[in-house]
Each structure stands twice: as structure tokens, then as C-alpha cells.
Amino acid sequence: MHIRDFIKNFSNHPVLFIGTGMSLRYLENSFTWDGLLSYISQQLKDTEEYYFDLKAKHGNDGTYDYTRIAKDLEIEFNNTLERERNGKFKHINDKFYENMKVDNNISRFKLYISDLLSEYVVKEEMKQEVAELKKVRKNIGSVVTTNYDSFIEEIFEFNQLIGNNILLSNPYGSVYKIHGCVHDPSKIIITDKDYANFHERYELIRAQLLSLFIHNPIIFMGYNIGDDNIKQLLKTIFTYVDPNTTQAEKIRKNFLLVEYEPESTNTEVTDHDIDMSGFSTIRINKIKTDNFHEIYKNLSNLSLPVSAMDIRKVQNVVKDIYEGGNIKVSITEDVDALENNEKVLALGSLKTIKYEFQTTSELMENYFKIVDESNHQLLKLIDKFKIQKNQYFPIYAFSMIQTELNSETELKVNQDGKLANLFNQQNDFAQQHTTITSIQSDEEIPRSRKTSAILFGIMQDRIPLEDVEEYLRDYQDRKSTDYRKILCVYDYKKYAGDEATSRFTILEPHEAQI
């Protein structure tokens, strides 16, 4: 089955289960488990032989117990740093003693892991594929990951959940960091003792994740078929669900393992049997490929009746209701008698109930997030808004993403008209400036005219669009008219393309005039 047809059958928002392979694929500074321990050992001892001794101690027939290797390495690392206060790892000792001042006893070994992985660099050749991955986030319910780094939660802009916070979570829009995170080194799980403690406390977390896995499609990425994380998860599920039931069959059909195969463009999903000792054989779906772009494209194009983004909004309100907040709840009609497609949840004031996914103002405030996600579903709402001619609204990028807008032509005429009013017969008075920073720091340009200077610089191609984008992404007051003006000019210059015209007449500056 083609990956397109497999994903098209999803009836709920998928959950991603992310492993080390994803960080290795996209990040410059990432490690396998073996690679991480080997690197730390090398930095500590300035030789690879100490790590080889640890592997020999905890190896059997070519397999190694990395949890016990990590335990021995942690002991040696901590003891060495304790003896050498101001040596090579002085900055780690500094962090250790800063934490101890507030009775926060964190292993120096884990502080170093956190320091090592706290910042990441995306590989230059993978940036385009990461941009495609970002588009997937609008259709993803949650992410579960065993990775320590913060790559996936930062590009998805999901809430990070570590340790007991998993139990108090809103499942939609969350990243479950089940093995810990660089942002909280005390929760990092890496040694045999860590894993033993984790499994003792895991039952409630297991129940929380089990609910996700039973009701949502699960896509494993960054793992191979023999990974213990996958086997343990499958054992957990089918310990609670009878493998011979229709529910079990439904769950199996929802599992997809994406296994990396270098240079493969394969797009076909096949069956695969996983043999597990002491357990029955379990059949799941698998695709071996290097064509992640095709997977991301089809996940991004997945169209479900309710977006994951809006389920997050609803769950936040329901959470307030559960907690006994000052919210009145009124249920009308016989809800149980309604068909699924007839049910509506309305959230609003007591006097006037009106629910929209986003207002025109919110669309502009979230412009870059919508473009990053290529969120065509959300943009269908534009046809339902009454956007006035005198309103700044950036339609060019939105119309490229959502190609079925009835109001596209009218809104482009409106946007062009607003820009014409900004530039026609106006003086380009700050031609010496090629950056936004230089305009802002020029004391000869009045504060009231700095935005105009920026607009002229963008329209006349003096200020690079990459700089304008960075400026707009960091803009604080996104409700302001200045933000909307600059956004509309940026949108026009970047996305109008062949539709751009020379209708704007900009005058040369008068002598001595600003």
C-alpha cells in the first residue's frame, strides 16, 4: 500500500514516537547511546581504551549493557571531577555547586550530558526537510520521545512534559520526554539504576500513554525494527488488550514503523512480523525508506473533521471545568441522540456564543506559524470573514497554501490598494540604509517615520527579505498597525511573484527633506 493511502485511512490524529535516529538525521551534534558514552569517556580520559575496558566488562557475544556501562562511567566521571575542581570540567563543577547551594543534588555526569546536548545545530542539507516536518505539526496529536535534546518540541512548539508532569498533562500538543530532557538533568534516565527506578514508577505513566496508543495511529520514527523501546511498548499494549480481538487488530493497523534505508525512495507500506521472547508474534506495518519528504507531505495533507490545534483549545477549557473553575456549562438537546457530524461545542460568553478557529487578527499574528505548517485547513476560514478594503491583510502567502479561496482576487486587489496608498507619490527618504537596525538607530529619522523608512527599504530591495522575516518573527506587538504594514509589504515582495506589478510610484527624496 502506498504511504499516501495508508495515512489517508487515519480517523484520528497520529502520535509520533521519536527515537535517536531522528536527531542523528537532522542534527550536527547528536549521538547514538554507544556514541554518547564513548565521547564522554574520551573527553574524560583522553583515550578510547578506558571505554573499551567498560564495554569488555559489560559485553556478551557482541551485545553490550549500556545501562551498566553508563553506571560505571558516571561513577568515574563524578569522582574525577570531585578530585579536579578546577580542571577541564570546571564549568560542570560550577553548575554542580550552584545546585548544591539550593539542596539540588544532581550528578555531574548528567549535568555534562545536559550541557553537551543543550544546544543543537540543524544540518544545512536537511533544513528543507525540517521545514517539511514543521508542516506536519498541525495534524499531530502528541509526540513521545526517548531523546534528551529539545529539537522536536521546539520545531513543533509543543509543551514539554518530563517525569510526573506526564500524569498532569493535556495530551494534545505535548511532547512526552519519557527518558528525561536536557532542561532537567536530574530526570535523565541512562544508568541501570535510573531504569530500575523508572520502571518502579512507570505504571501510571504507562496507563497515560496506553490511552494514546489505543486510540491514535502511532508512527515510530528514528528506531529500527529490533529496538527494545518498540518491543516493550507492544508488550505493554497487548498485555492489556487481548491480541485476538477486533480492537487488537485495529491497534495493529494503526502502527507504522518508519525504518531508515539509505538513498531509498520507497513509498510502499508492507506487513512485518515482530518476534518477541515470551510473547506472541505481533504484525505491524513498516516502510523502509530515505524518502521522509513523502511521509511528511502526506501527514501534512491529512484532513480530519477537527484539527489537532482546536482539540487543544477545547481540552484547555474542559480541564478548567474538571478543576471546578467558575465556568457555567449548559447542554442543550439530547446530545446522545445527535449524529457525530451534528455535534457542536460552542465556547463563549453567556450572552453571545460565537466560536471561530481564529480571527483575522490572529491569522496575522500567527502568519509565520501558519506558513511554516502550510495550514490549508485553517485558511479555509478566510472566505467566512468580512475583510474590509481599508484593512491590512497579507493574502499572497495564504492563497498559495489554500488554493480554493473564493475571496482571493478581491483580497489581493485590497492588499495592492493598501500598498499603493503607502507608496504612491511618496518620498523614498532613507536610501542610505540597508538594514532595519541602522534605520532604528538613525536619530535624524523621527520615530514616527521609522516604519515608513523600513517599508521603502523592503519595497526597493535594499533590506533583504530574510532580515525582514527575522524582524517580524521577533516583533512584540503583533496587533499594531506598524506590524501589519510591514507584514503586508513582506508578503507582497516574497509571494506575489509574477503577479507583482510596477503600480507603485515612489519619488526620489527632495533636498534636505526627511
Q: In the prediction, which pLDDT does 57 show?
A: 96
Does residue 162 register a pLDDT over 50? yes
Using one digit for the tens of pLDDT, what is the confidence trace for 375-413? 888 898 899 888 988 899 999 999 999 999 999 999 999
Q: In the prediction, which pLDDT does 353 show?
A: 43
**CATH fold label, 3-28+124-300:** Rossmann fold (3.40.50)
Instruction: Identify the band that residue 147 occupies on the pLDDT scale cut at 50, 70 and 90.
Output: very high
- Answer for the pair 178, 205: CB distance below 8 angstroms, yes or no: yes
Cβ neighbour number for residue 167 with a 10 Å cutoff: 12
Cell of 321: 471545568
Give the single-character DSSP code of 476.
S
Q: State the DSSP H helix or E strand holding residue 93, giving kind and residue range, or none if neither.
A: helix 90-100
Q: Is 484 exposed, middle or buried (0-12, 13-18, 19+ CB in 10 A)?
A: buried
Q: In the prediction, which pLDDT does 458 show?
A: 95
Q: In the prediction, which pLDDT does 207 show?
A: 74
Give the integer Cα–Cα distance in Å for 282 and 333: 45
Q: In the prediction, which pLDDT does 225 show?
A: 73
Cβ neighbour number for residue 233 with a 10 Å cutoff: 20
Q: In the prediction, which pLDDT does 331 show?
A: 61
Does residue 166 register a pLDDT over 60? yes
Closest listed residue to residue 137, CA positions, set 166, 117, 122, 159:
159
Q: In the prediction, which pLDDT does 332 show?
A: 58
Cell of 152: 522536536
This prediction's pTM: 0.79
Give the integer Cα–Cα distance in Å for 269 and 287: 5
Average pLDDT score over residue span 199-225: 80
Using one digit for the tens of pLDDT, what is the confidence trace for 228-280? 777 777 777 777 777 778 888 888 888 899 999 999 999 999 998 877 666 67
Give the integer Cα–Cα distance in Å for 319 and 322: 5
Average pLDDT score over residue span 318-328: 65
Q: State the DSSP H helix or E strand holding residue 18, giving kind and residue range, or none if neither.
A: strand 15-18
Give the integer Cα–Cα distance in Å for 231 and 276: 7
Q: Which residue has the cell 567498560?
A: 54
Give the integer Cα–Cα distance in Å for 114 and 185: 6
Q: List Cβ neighbours of 232 (8 Å cut-off, separation of 6 or more).
A: none
Q: In the prediction, which pLDDT does 498 show?
A: 74
Q: In the prediction, which pLDDT does 507 show?
A: 57
Cell of 62: 557482541
Does residue 341 register a pLDDT over 80? no
Using one digit for the tens of pLDDT, what is the confidence trace for 279-322? 677 788 999 999 999 999 999 999 887 777 677 767 766 666 66
Does residue 7 register a pLDDT over 70? yes
Using one digit for the tens of pLDDT, what is the confidence trace for 74-119? 999 999 999 999 999 999 999 999 999 999 999 999 999 999 999 9
Give the single-character DSSP code of 498.
G
Q: What are phi and psi of 117, to 5 degrees?
A: -110, 5
Cβ neighbour number for residue 476 with a 10 Å cutoff: 6
CATH 3.40.50 residue window(s) in the chain: 3-28+124-300
- Answer for the pair 151, 175: CB distance below 8 angstroms, yes or no: no
Closest listed residue to residue 231, CA positions, set 17, 382, 377:
17
Does residue 355 register a pLDDT over 80? no
Instruction: Identify the band that residue 54 occupies on the pLDDT scale cut at 50, 70 and 90.
Output: very high
Cell of 67: 545501562
Q: In the prediction, which pLDDT does 357 show?
A: 57
- Answer for the pair 27, 123: CB distance below 8 angstroms, yes or no: yes
Average pLDDT score over residue span 432-443: 94
DSSP β-ladder status, 59-60 and 63-64? antiparallel
- Answer for the pair 218, 254: CB distance below 8 angstroms, yes or no: yes
Give the single-character DSSP code of 219.
E
Does residue 427 register a pLDDT over 60? yes
Q: In the prediction, which pLDDT does 501 show?
A: 62
Instruction: Identify the band that residue 134 occupies on the pLDDT scale cut at 50, 70 and 90.
Output: very high
